[in-house]
């Protein structure tokens, strides 16, 4: 299915985007080879794009140097960076600037920027000043910016009124929003700010509204596991495939999502190393693991039948 958004600025992405997991080696370092192998698999099996080093990618559990190393490994892999946005948000403004500049120099399509997240209840003027500094620091090599709205984790929201101010002040450098709030009313309000402002809810369930043109697609943790089903739902309007994709997502309700996704990746790819997470996350409990594997296999068996 073609992207129905009328205005496509630089860095515009669309469709099924996996918030790709980052493999971790036994020393607690990012395992770039495994991560890139997964990226290659996802792009070949339904993903229109990838969100590298987001929440599912455990970005804020890695150091500045580790994050740069992961980004550089993607750039060296030959994978299409024009289909990838990379998380560059950080608590320290200087770190966010350094990461965003590195993403721009490497050629990623866009940067996904969390608000600085240590201080809570900060004024919109402070958040605007932070974005101003990031954009000024990357003016020589501009990179499109998506705002990352995840108040349950960051504690700092991107208010709709502030988004309007950012678009008025910075124009086309602010391309869109990843909304991980779960508040669909907020996502719809944000999508209505401007035709060119591209909103990605974090659930596959939003794909019918993406097909209608309201959203640009979805950026989902569970697209690591069900990208083929999501693609059938989005591109072909296959309601059954989409229902199965959503059923896989619902397997994680009430369970820790990132360790769960990695545990199921380990099962799907026959590679126990994928189950490893970076502290402070902890391994997925064995009882949960058995339940999600059984549920996943049941959904897949239904499709085969």
pLDDT at 49: 98
Sheet architecture: strand order including 217-220: 198-201, 174-179, 144-149, 110-113, 84-87, 49-52, 15-19, 217-220
Question: What Cα–Cα distance (Å) separates residue 224 from each residue in 71, 73, 94, 193, 201?
Answer: 18, 19, 31, 30, 16
pLDDT of residue 188: 98
State the pLDDT confidence band at 2, using cuts at 50, 70 and 90.
very low
Q: Residue 149: pLDDT above 60? A: yes
Given this model, what pLDDT does residue 12 score?
A: 79
| Rounded Cα distance, 151 and 155, in Å | 4
What is the rounded distance in angstroms from the CA atom of residue 102 to the CA atom of residue 99? 5
Q: 33-74: per-residue pLDDT in tens?
A: 999 999 999 999 999 999 999 999 999 999 999 999 999 999
Q: Given the DSSP bridges, would you call strands 198-201 and 217-220 parallel, antiparallel or unpaired?
A: unpaired
Token pair in block for residue 49: 């794009």
Q: Report pLDDT digits (tens) over 168-227.
A: 999 899 999 999 999 999 999 999 999 999 999 999 999 999 999 999 999 999 999 999
Mean pLDDT value of segment 272-285: 97
pLDDT, tens only, 95-107: 999 999 999 999 9
* DSSP string of 110-158, one letter each residue: EEEEPPP-SS-S--HHHHHHHHHHHHHHTSSS--EEEEEE-HHHHS---
Q: What domains sit in the chain, N to C, each tagged with a CATH number? A: 15-238 (3.20.20.70)
Is 302's pLDDT higher than 90? no
Return the closest-CA partner of residue 183 out of 154, 206, 211, 207.
206
Whole-model pTM? 0.94
Active site positions, annotated: 55, 118, 148, 178
Q: What is the 3-state secondary structure (H, E, C) of 171-229?
A: HHHEEEEEECCCCHHHHHHHHCCCCCCEEEECCHHHHHHHHCCCCCEEEECCHHHHHHH
Residue 10, both tokens: 């630089």
Confirm if 277 and 301 have CB atoms less than 8 A apart. no
């Amino acid at each position: 299915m073609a992207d129905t958004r009328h205005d496509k600025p630089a860095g515009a992405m669309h469709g099924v985007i996996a918030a790709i997991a980052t493999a971790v080696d036994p020393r607690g370092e990012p395992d770039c080879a495994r991560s890139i192998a997964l990226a290659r698999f996802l792009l070949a099996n339904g993903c229109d794009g990838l969100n590298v080093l987001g929440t599912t990618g455990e970005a804020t559990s890695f150091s500045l140097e580790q994050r740069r190393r992961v980004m550089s490994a993607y750039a060296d892999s030959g994978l299409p960076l024009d289909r990838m946005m990379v998380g560059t948000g950080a608590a320290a403004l200087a770190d966010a600037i350094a990461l965003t500049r590195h993403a721009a120099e490497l050629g990623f399509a866009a940067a996904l920027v969390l608000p600085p997240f240590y201080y809570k209840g900060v004024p919109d003027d402070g958040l605007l000043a932070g974005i101003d500094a990031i954009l000024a620091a990357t003016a020589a090599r501009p990179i499109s910016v998506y705002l990352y709205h995840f108040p349950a984790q960051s504690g700092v929201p991107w208010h709709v009124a502030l988004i309007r101010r950012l678009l008025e002040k910075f124009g086309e450098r602010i391309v869109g929003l990843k909304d991980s709030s779960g508040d669909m009313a907020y996502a719809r309000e944000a999508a209505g700010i401007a035709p060119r402002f591209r909103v990605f809810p974090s659930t596959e369930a939003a794909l019918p509204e993406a097909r209608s043109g309201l959203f640009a697609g979805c950026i989902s943790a569970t697209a690591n596991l069900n990208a083929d089903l999501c693609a059938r739902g989005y591109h072909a309007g296959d309601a059954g495939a989409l229902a199965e994709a959503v059923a896989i997502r619902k397997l994680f309700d009430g369970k820790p999502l990132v360790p769960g996704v990695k545990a199921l990746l380990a099962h799907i790819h026959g590679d126990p190393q994928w189950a490893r997470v970076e502290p402070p996350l902890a391994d997925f409990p064995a009882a949960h693991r058995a339940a999600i594997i059984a549920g996943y296999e049941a959904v897949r068996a239904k499709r085969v039948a």
